Amino acid sequence: MKRKYLYAAVAAVILICIGAAVFFLRPDQGEKLVKDFLNETLTKSEEQAGLYQALLDSPALIGEGVDAQTVEASEKQSRQAEEKWKEVYGVYLNDQGMDDFSKAMLGYMMDLYQQDETWEVTETTVTRDNDAYKFHVNMTVGENRQEIEGRAEVTDGKISSLDLTEL
């Protein structure tokens, strides 16, 4: 009878240890978010190409000599492109993160899509650094290797700050 209790106690301890290991060794959610964002953003795809093309095709036309109908149509097209943008990147970025992305990476990504080069992400590394996450991305663009490094801060499950230190 004592053996049954001993086996039950050993089984319970093993299950508790396995549960604790799974809980404590699971990847950090912020780290996963930053890595997913970088891989999504830097991977060439038709969806991404369409997103960047929508941005290129949607400048708001305003000013003297532009009729009201043209202004309204261009503003509508611009809003639609912005909504598509937020739909894709709003999963990863809050409003401040969107602004940081626009300042830090948007021009680079637009250039890649306009040059119609082939590129691929070869490695993405994200590590926790105090309140932020450092990242390092290795890419092959055409025949050249490129590296992107930076930091991202995550607040309430979204990237709230994005800073590139090397592009």
Which pLDDT score is estimated for 55? 76
Which pLDDT score is estimated for 8? 67
Per-residue pLDDT of the chain (167 residues; tens, 9 = 90+): 577 776 666 666 676 767 655 555 555 788 999 999 999 999 988 888 888 888 777 665 555 666 777 767 777 877 888 888 888 889 999 999 999 998 888 888 888 888 867 889 999 999 998 889 999 999 998 889 999 999 999 999 999 999 988 77
Which pLDDT score is estimated for 14? 76
Which pLDDT score is estimated for 150? 95
Query: Could you give the C-alpha distances from 104 to 98, 110, 148, in angstroms and in order?
Result: 10, 12, 11
Closest CA to 55 of 107, 121, 96, 104: 107
Which pLDDT score is estimated for 50? 84
- Taking the C-alpha atoms of residue 138 and residue 72, their distance in angstroms, rounded to an integer, is 42
Query: Could you give the C-alpha distances from 150 to 83, 136, 143, in angstroms and in order?
Result: 26, 7, 23
Which pLDDT score is estimated for 130? 86
